[in-house]
Amino acid sequence: MEENTLAVQYSYDSSENLYPRRVLVTGGAGFIGSNFVHHWCNAYPEDRIVVLDALTYAGNRQNLATLEDREQFKFVEGNICDRTLIDKLLEEEAIDTIAHFAAESHVDRSILGPDAFIQTNVVGTLTLLEAFRHYWNQHQQPDHYRFLHVSTDEVYGSLGPEDPPFTETTPYTPNSPYSASKAGSDHLVRAYYHTYNLPTIITNCSNNYGPYHYPEKLIPLMCINILLGKPLPIYGDGQNVRDWLYVLDHCRALDVVIHRGKPGETYNIGGNNEVTNLDLVKMLCRFMDELASHHLPVKPSMDLITFVKDRPGHDRRYAINSSKLKTQLGWAPLVTVEEGLRQTVGWYLTHRHWWEPLLSEEYQAYYRQVYA
Ligand code: NAD
Ligand code: TYD
């Protein structure tokens, strides 16, 4: 799969672009944010990209290393709760678009300690909204300004086996501190459109996978543990279902939403790939055995599968209906789950230098807490 070709193929046609955008990307050093920045810089080299990231445990400047020399790229280390900094960045950089990814994003960490989730996901989003509202008003409310809020399907809660997939009108029923904090931020973003006319758009996406995914999440954790010959911990009976989307397909959807989406709207984004956790892990084992046959401490990797105590409040099933995005804005995912997972397994195999330094003492302490 040639990433750059796919990126260009599914981006907004730049001939429709009236002028280069000036985009503030919050959380741009994290997993999806950094993939988005790479996508955007490839597709729109004339646009200004300013990344604002607090570099928490999940933020990694290495993810952006190949962009650091570009004239139109700037990295700023800072917190989305810092109003003074945001006011200054909006003015100095003449920002017209905010792509808001910054968040505490891991359900298991939210169960261990919800405070940071409320602070960043709710208070941080409010701070950004307030700053953008004042800035937009001061500039006479230009039509083309956008505030894109990147959210999750987890706000909709859990589905039964026969339930239809989530649509944009499914009521919110978040079940974890993480999804509750994202739901709170979604409500604020919505309210800023209805109350102040601020041109906000919300996207709710299913589980992403791909390069630069921090080791604590299911897919990277399993890839890394296979390579290290460590147990593959599956929560409960392994029959929980997630809908998986390749991260660049998500980025292309956000691209289309920024350029063509309607302020005040919500768009669901999903891959239409419902898989149980157990089947997914088996697939990863199979790909790793094929790709790394001589380098694995334990083979077949499936021998490492271990069922562990379930996550509290573990949502049983997510599935998402993205027909609104497809029919109204013309997006469709390009990467099949088979192709995307194989490529991702290959990435973790060849990027040991990226993930090994992340397995720090702090990470090991977190790991013991969750899996002890
Ligand atoms: P991530 O944890 O990999 O990255 C989050 C980034 O935000 C990190 O770089 C971190 O340093 C930064 N950050 C955290 N707190 C900050 C703060 N207070 N100020 C500035 N920066 C801060 O997360 P991700 O998986 O890339 O998710 C990005 C967004 O997409 C999140 O809002 C998440 O809710 C949403 N989302 C994720 C998925 C998924 O499958 N990962 C699916 C749907 C939606
Ligand atoms: P995760 O990657 O944490 O995403 P989310 O909780 O946001 O969906 O987990 C994906 C699924 O994998 C979820 O059902 C929980 C499960 N899981 C395990 O079974 N074992 C693990 O070690 C992890 C991290 C997740």
pLDDT (0 to 100) of residue 3: 41
pLDDT (0 to 100) of residue 17: 60
d(CA 205, CA 271): 9
Residue 165 lies in a domain: yes
Residue 307 lies in a domain: no
d(CA 160, CA 212): 32
Q: Is residue 103 in contact with ligand 2, taking CB distance under 6 Å? A: no
> Looking at residue 36, which CATH number applies to its domain?
3.40.50.720
pLDDT (0 to 100) of residue 4: 35
User: Do 177 and 155 contact (CB within 8 A), yes or no?
Assistant: no
Q: Is residue 58 in contact with ligand 1, taking CB distance under 6 Å? A: yes
Rg (alpha carbons) of the chain, rounded to whole number: 20
Q: How far is residue 200 from each of residues 42, 299, 360, measured CA to CA in Å?
A: 25, 50, 38
Residue 255 lies in a domain: yes
> pTM here?
0.96
d(CA 117, CA 100): 15
Residue 234 lies in a domain: no
Structural domain including 170 reads 19-213+243-272+317-334
**DSSP code, position 335:** S
d(CA 60, CA 69): 17
pLDDT (0 to 100) of residue 219: 98
Residue 97 lies in a domain: yes
pLDDT (0 to 100) of residue 13: 58
Q: How far is residue 294 from each of residues 221, 290, 291, 344, 351, measured CA to CA in Å?
A: 20, 9, 9, 19, 17
**DSSP code, position 19:** S
> For the segment 235-246, what is each residue's pLDDT rounded down to a tens digit?
999 999 999 999
pLDDT (0 to 100) of residue 372: 84
Residue 347 lies in a domain: no
User: Do 93 and 63 contact (CB within 8 A), yes or no?
Assistant: no
pLDDT (0 to 100) of residue 18: 60
pLDDT (0 to 100) of residue 5: 36
User: Do 181 and 104 contact (CB within 8 A), yes or no?
Assistant: yes
pLDDT (0 to 100) of residue 15: 57
Instruction: Provide the 10 A C-beta neighbour count for residue 250.
Output: 26
pLDDT (0 to 100) of residue 7: 42
pLDDT (0 to 100) of residue 293: 86
Q: Of the ligands numbered here, which is closest to the C-alpha atom of 314?
A: 2
**Active site members:** 153-154, 178
Q: Is residue 107 in contact with ligand 2, taking CB distance under 6 Å? A: yes
Nearest CA, atom 9, ligand 2? 218
> For the segment 9-20, what is each residue's pLDDT rounded down to a tens digit?
445 555 556 678
pLDDT (0 to 100) of residue 16: 57
Residue 35 lies in a domain: yes
Q: Is residue 232 in contact with ligand 2, taking CB distance under 6 Å? A: no
Residue 48 CB contacts under 8 Å (≥ 6 apart), including other chains? 20, 21, 22, 23, 72, 74, 93
d(CA 234, CA 330): 37
pLDDT (0 to 100) of residue 352: 97
Number of domains in the chain: 1
Residue 227 lies in a domain: no
Task: Pick from 242, 244, 285, 363 the residue to mutate for probing ligand 2's pocket: most ligand atoms within 8 Å of its CB.
Answer: 242
Which ranges of the chain have pLDDT less than 50? Answer: 1-10
